Structure 1
Amino acid sequence: MKKSSLILMFVLLLAAGVAVGVAATKYVESGGFWQKAILVMTDARCKECRTDQIVDALKRMFPTRQKIKVIDYSTSKDLYKAEGISKLPVALLPKDIKEDKGYEQVKRFARNGKDYIILPTGGDFDPTAEICDNNVDDNNNGLIDCNDPTCKSKWMCMEKREKPSIDLFVMSYCPYGLQILKGFMPVWDAFGNKIDAHVRFVDYAMHGEKEVKENLKQYCIQNLNKDSYKKYLYCFLEDGNQKGDCDEKAGVDKKALETCIKDTDTKFGVTASLNNKEKWMGNFPPFAPDAEMARRFEVKGSPTVIINDVVADDIGRSPNSLKEAICKGFVNPPEECKKEMDKNSPAPGFGLKKSQEGGKGGSGGSCG
């Protein structure tokens, strides 16, 4: 799935900022707050623009510059245009910030604007474009949402179906794949046979031999009996089947599973590829059973959600956000679409626990 995480530069800021902060503590304590404020421009319409992370990174990077103001595009359009900004969120640094030690860490990413130094944050929100799902003519061309031709390639404007298809690509031991599965399971239960849902596996494994074997096992359980697979998955999501009793709890046919694993392994050369590093994809062994679909949709990592044969980016990982995304794929949305579901995103990794509130909390990570 496409993420709204910060670029590597901001990861470096968070780490480097601690060291810079120690050196500048005395200056901060002396009250040296004479500088012009740093601005962070965002847009209230952008669901993925997490300015709190950006502000935190900037405070760590520039500890003597505690005046950081978040501004919105709606009231800053002239500034947006004057500084030649194209994507949000973005940091606007006073030009005298070059005197700060922290600037050395970011100057290679920055560029000079008219009155500010422009520092991208990795955001890709275009405030001048049609948003596609807010019932507003954002770009003032007289066409709203999916009627605007610029929205035709967006997932929210996908083909509607009587029975939407959902293909959820994961790696079985990826903490973020586990996270979205935990968010998806209650949605799958709620819709039942009204959706055509499948868990798929990315065409390479980042978590070693155990992941290759678990992928293969889950691939077979799902193909043998979808109900058994859902029961198995609930058990696996709790602790990774550490007790080894998930098969029994799910009522998995042991003999049929063994036969499927053997046949699938032979057909796709799963173990053979695992044992032959010449066939690996860089540092990772391939996993071929779902590879054809993964390549068709250019799946790069775990998780990736595909609804009605369209990759759905940035849809969140809470049950409610996943439900809302799926409901956009119905010709006639069923009653389940009217029901509110949990808006909390599950925590990454094993354990059926909650994360931050709001549906987007903790939902930016991926494997791959």
Structure 2
Amino acid sequence: MEKKIQYFLIMLTMLIMTVSVLSGCGKDTDNTGTTGGAVFDGEKVKIDFYVMSQCPYGTQVEDAIAPVLKTMGDAVDFELNFIGGEDESGFRSLHGESEINGDMVQLCALNVDEEKAMEMIVCMNKEPTGIPNNWQPCAESAGLDVEAVRACYEGEQGKELLRESFAKASEAGAQGSPTMFFNGEDYSGPRDSLSFQRQICNFVPGHSACADVPECATDVDCLMQTEDKIGVCVEGKCEFSDPVELNLVVLTDSDCGQECDTTQVLGVSKQLFRGMSENIVEVDSEEGKEMIEKYGIIRIPAYLFDEKVTETYAWKSNEQLQTAFEKKEDKYKLLDEATGAVKFVNEDVEKKYFEKAGITIGDGKPQIDFYVMSYCPYGNIAEEAIAPVFEELKEFAEFNPRYVIYSNYQGGGPEFCLDNGNLCSMHGIQELNQDIREMCVNKLFGTEDWFEFAMEMNKECTYQNADSCWEDVAVGLGLDADAIAECEKNEGVELARKDKELNDIFGVSGSPTIFIEGMEYSGARSSQGYMAALCGAFDGNAPDACDNVENMESTSEAPAGACG
């Protein structure tokens, strides 16, 4: 439930950080920092940024900190590192080889000249899809020694810098881009230049650049000054008003433990809606049963706000927050996908939903449903680990590849979405198109061909070129590319809608999310782990292949990360 609750937490952050956007997507300095502005002779502020060179949230903070370094660099010890890893196959990063090379060339530039390197990085960020190939003109415009950068980038030094940088990010526990620290303190505030400057001035208030910093840069600066008022930043000054009073009814089961923990959602709600009071209702009480019937509640905990919620500052100031709610009679209910609610209100409802998903408990043929994004590296690793299990059990179990699909992602525009914003994918429209093509392969040719196609696409194409790359892959595997294209055109949206409906039914929000017989799997992400779990679902009639689970050739257990 903890990973699924992030959607609502992000809604809060998007509200209070009106000039910022959250994800979620260098060389060891010599303590001189990037210089500029007046000379400062006090103790420097240590700033550490951990990013991915093609992550838009990472490039956002690089662009925002760059002008601050020009004016306050004499008071700052700034270090930029990158998030990734290395295994027997080489370096790996969330957005693939182009991002790895982008990380490397930027580290090389930082190694040559830190101040000019930041100019190069900001220049490259103007065309993020061109990273790393746009490095040379950007290096030239920044006045960098291009040949020195090239020698590092194309030689062993670049690899060593990248290896060191990844290690620093790992040591810092940085998994999301960006992860930021100011003097060792985790920073989660607004991500604009003025907010970064204000944060630095908290540590060095005597710096000349701090003299004219306003009381507030965004509403969040005012909201954080008081817990019982609504604070708004007006022309650099905070203005406060009383919040709208409203009531929240929480339908839950006090006996279901951690699965029904309401602490986080209530905490976030109290920050969003400062005039809120709450009322807890037990699911098996008479009032609870009436609520289930009246509002069509499927899962708990369920959070129902009265209509006053639409009069609040939070509601009026953030249209995207409104997408986390659905109208239910005289209430506004938080979506289950926003809160991470997974427990069905009763067994009858659970049975109906399993039937809707095509799951029949006790039919002797266990079912594994694995939800991925076609270009999420964690999802790709899960596919590769499940593939040998499919080879062992394809005659005895049902394997259903499915896809993680959002609605209104990043505003629902065509860069990420189809169907008027109802069908979206995290890594862009080409990933969503590839999801659909893989659905078509599964529908037209079966799961065995799906595995071959998906594995080959993972190797040969990326989320940036899948639309132009897939056909050669399909033809190379002997698949009918024309049939796939026709299916994508005529049936694709409907296939994606069906997967989106299943996402909503089972509260799927991250890649990979795996269910065995309708129950979410949280074991080892390895072939042995998936094989053992599926074999355990046969209820005593497991095939002979299950006798040798411990001896099967196993993939290494994958990291417990996820996209989403």
| TM-score, normalised via structure 1 length | 0.47
Q: Decide which structure has the larger Cα Rg and report it.
A: 2
| TM-score, normalised via structure 2 length | 0.32
Larger proportion of helix: 2
